[in-house]
Amino acid sequence: MFNKKKQPPIKSLIAEGSRITGDISFADGLRVDGDVTGNIRASDEVASILVISESAKVIGEVVADHIIINGSVKGPVHARLMLELQPKARIEGDVQYAALEMHQGALIAGQLRPIILGEEEKPTLKLAANNQ
């Protein structure tokens, strides 16, 4: 699905130790290592990727095409194409996804709602193997 195309470059970084209050809009790619209180929304005009690292804490809505989470999110998550939950991902809020990859250890306190892309297509769910 998303992996067949070239992923957009990550052009912006919110560094560890940074604290941002307010909504963030971005295009292409964004990596969050710090704390954000506000909504993070990718443009729907171009492909987007959002990485929320292990040290990151986000309080607010998160929307992008491809989202990779290994940190903490308190708020709804909407992955238009692909959501990857790494082992230390913690989500408190409802999650919408077209495809979901969830590693052992990731936690969600909320409802999972697949996005139905077409009548023939069903959302994909993949449980990542523990590679220890």
What digits encode the pLDDT tens for the residues 44-69?
999 999 999 999 999 999 999 999 99
Share of the chain above pLDDT 70, in %: 84
pTM: 0.86
Q: Which residue has the higher pLDDT, 114 or 119?
A: 114
Q: Which residue has the higher pLDDT, 120 or 53?
A: 53
Gap between the Cα atoms of 116 and 33, Å rounded? 31
The total number of structural domains that make up the chain = 1
User: Is residue 45 domain-resident?
Assistant: yes
User: Is residue 127 domain-resident?
Assistant: no
Instruction: Collapse the DSSP code of 93 into the 3-class scheme (helix H, G, I; strand E, B; otherwise coil) and give the result.
Output: coil
Range(s) of the domain holding residue 14: 2-117
pLDDT at 1: 43
User: Is residue 123 domain-resident?
Assistant: no
User: Is residue 55 domain-resident?
Assistant: yes
User: Is residue 68 domain-resident?
Assistant: yes
Instruction: Collapse the DSSP code of 88 into the 3-class scheme (helix H, G, I; strand E, B; otherwise coil) and give the result.
Output: coil
CA dihedral of 3, 54, 25, 40, whole degrees rounded to 10: 100
User: Is residue 124 domain-resident?
Assistant: no
